[in-house]
Amino acid sequence: MDELQLKEMIRSLLNEMGGDSAVKETAATDQNKAEKPAVSLQEEVKQDTSVIEDGIIPDITEVDIQEQFLVPNAINEEAYRKIKKFTPARLGLWRAGDRYKTQSVLRFRADHAAAQDAVFSYVSDDFIKEMGFIPVQTKATTKDEYLTRPDFGRVFPEDQQAIIKEKCKPNAKVQIVVGDGLSSSAIEANVKDFLPALKQGLKMFGLDFGEVLFIKHARVAAMDQIAELTGAEVICMLVGERPGLVTAESMSAYLAYKPTVGMPEAKRTVVSNIHKGGTPAVEAGAYVAEIIKKILDNKKSGIDLK
């Protein structure tokens, strides 16, 4: 069947479905196509990309999922949007057949890639220098070793222990520690705003603190050995949380009163979900300073702290 026969068949079907008007519309479309001058492939590409200004494609991750609503002809769109305000979950994305729409799939893949990057990347050396941190490293020597041997991320080799003893103020009321944890992105996104608020709060309560340690390949329990090495009463450890598809920039603050190696996890107090979509870093810093004061007053932390 050649192209002419195919067109005749289509016209016949349209005639049966919609009458003469459909045939005339199809004929007019064919006439317009015939009159339209031929365009080269390069010209077609140029026309298709003309909406992109300055060669920049819009960043799909900039779309606020809580504002995005793709359900056509929703029975109660207003109520649906109200529900979305209370959760960052991927609601109201709709589908094409039995699959998600392309933009939803691309956003999922972009968020998943950001989560992977947060785990496998490192806090930059420039950031550590800018913040004036004292850099040390746990027994884990590579990212793979850190991920597969959690026990290595909880202890320090002898040379690093010596640095901690030399650089940290002995027997301080509070020792502040920053660890990369499972999200380097969380540290770089929140620490700059968190630390000034925390330090200001500690000064207001008259609590002394020394230099800030930065731990590469850090697990939370690394704070225990630091306490034993420095004699600090309270360890405040900021660490990047395991990233998810909602955010890769969530940080937690772990607090413990005179922690010791091997102590139960229940002895720790934690403030989690510190990020722009959760508890803002500045607010969290002030709040953590209050908790530290409470821990010192009661000489307890974790579930023992009422």
Q: What is the pLDDT of residues 255-283, one digit of tens each?
A: 999 999 999 999 999 999 999 889 999 99
Pairing of strands 99-100, 269-274: unpaired
- Of 16-30, 165-179, 242-256, the least confident: 16-30
More confidently predicted of 151 and 95: 151
The continuous run of DSSP H or E covering 225 comes out as helix 222-230
At 178, is the pLDDT very low, low, confident or very high (cuts 50, 70, 90)?
Answer: very high
Residue 67: the pLDDT is 85
Six-digit token pair at 141?
């020597």
The whole-number pLDDT of residue 127 equals 96
Tell me, what's the pLDDT at 44?
Answer: 43
pLDDT digits (tens, 9 = 90+) for 40-80: 444 544 444 444 556 566 777 778 888 888 889 889 989 98
Mind listing the domains of the chain with CATH numbers?
125-304 (3.40.50.11240)
Q: Among 97, 82, 98, 88, which Cα is nearest to 63's? A: 88
DSSP-derived 3-state class of residue 273: strand
Number of residues that make up the chain: 306
What mean pLDDT comes out for the span 83-108?
A: 85
Whether the pLDDT of residue 33 is over 70: the answer is no
What span, in angstroms and rounded, lies between the C-alpha atoms of 268 and 202?
A: 19
Model confidence at 128, in pLDDT bands (50, 70, 90)? very high
- Reduced to 3 DSSP states, what percent helix, strand and coil does the chain have, rounded to the nearest 5? 50, 15, 35
- Of the chain, the end-to-end C-alpha distance in Å amounts to 83
Helices 222-230 + 158-167 axis angle, to 10: 50
What are the phi and psi torsion angles at 209 (to 5°)?
-145, 155
In whole angstroms, give the CA distance from residue 124 to residue 5. Answer: 66
Span 82-102, average pLDDT:
86
Q: Mean pLDDT of all residues in the chain?
A: 85
241 is in an annotated binding site: yes
Helices (runs of H) and strands (runs of E) counted in the chain: 11, 8
pTM for the whole structure: 0.72
Q: pLDDT band at 252, cuts 50/70/90?
A: very high
Task: Return the percentage of the chain with pLDDT > 90, whole number.
Answer: 57
Q: Is the pLDDT of residue 123 over 70?
A: yes
Q: How far is CA 175 from CA 54, 143, 172, 215, 227, in A?
A: 49, 26, 6, 13, 8
Q: Is residue 142's pLDDT more than 90?
A: yes
Residue 18 predicted with pLDDT over 80: no
> In the structure encoding, which two tokens stand for residue 287, read together?
């709040």
Give the whole-angstrom CA distance, residue 120 versus residue 112: 13
136 is in an annotated binding site: no
Other beta carbons within 10 angstroms of residue 166's beta carbon come to 8
The kind and range of the H/E element at 196 are helix 184-204
Residues 6 or more apart whose Cβ sits within 8 Å of residue 21: none
